[in-house]
Homo-oligomer: A and B are copies of this chain.
Amino acid sequence: MNFDLNEAVEILERTPRTLEVFLSGLSDGWLECNEGTDTWNAKEVVGHLIEAEISDWMPRLNIILQEGENQPFPPFDRFAHLQKNSHLSIDEKLMEFQMLRKQNIQRLLEAVDPIEQLELTGLHPDFGTVKLRELLATWVVHDLTHISQIVRIMAERYRADVGPWAAYLGILNRSLPK
């Protein structure tokens, strides 16, 4: 096991600004391309990250701290953002994500004692008993998953353009995610 709260926060606090530097000012060609029918573009991925800040990580953290396994987590709607924040520009989304993440990290550090509380448990609707530290590690890897998704979407846009080099470019040699 490698989880450490301070190291986890190092990633959580970098993700919004990393995405801002990478995405702000890009042409619509990059921001609106996707990997095919029913897949997300980069703007939609940022929308999903915003929705998770609001409805996923902190509510679940609070349930673990307050209810333990007495109350299962409410389900998280992975598609809610496609309606709820789809009218925002990419810069508005990036700012919103950054603001929410900053608040959430502050609340996380206030609420959780890493010596005493990381082994506390909650009840996941699919998995059953899960630990607070697993939730927090998942928050980090969820960020990494979606940064990876964004760059993969963009690489896909140039699949034909790279010609024979496609064979050497690992990012183009994976099956699309579900």
Q: Which residues of B contact A27 (CB under 8 A)?
A: 6-7, 10
Residue A124 is within 8 A (CB to CB) of chain B in the complex:
yes
Contact B133 A144 (CB under 8 A): no
Q: Is A88 an interface residue (CB 8 A)?
A: no
Q: A115 at the A/B interface (Cβ < 8 Å)?
A: no
CB within 8 A of A177: which of B7, B158, B170?
B170
Given known contacts A21-B18, A22-B18, A158-B137, A169 and B148 CB-to-CB distance under 8 angstroms? no
Judging by beta carbons under 8 Å apart, are B174 and A162 in contact? no
User: Are A161 and B137 in contact (CB-based, < 8 A)?
Assistant: yes
Given the interface contacts A10-B26, A21-B17, A22-B18, does A134 sit within 8 Å of B151 by beta carbon? no
Shortest Cβ distance from A177 into B: residue: B170
A interface with B by C-beta (< 8 Å): 1-4, 6-7, 10-11, 14, 17-18, 21-22, 25-27, 29-30, 33, 124, 126-128, 130-131, 133-135, 137-138, 140-142, 144-145, 147-149, 151-152, 154-155, 157-158, 160-165, 169-174, 177-178
Additional A-B contacts beyond A128-B164, A140-B158 (4; CB < 8 A): A2-B29, A138-B165, A141-B162, A144-B151
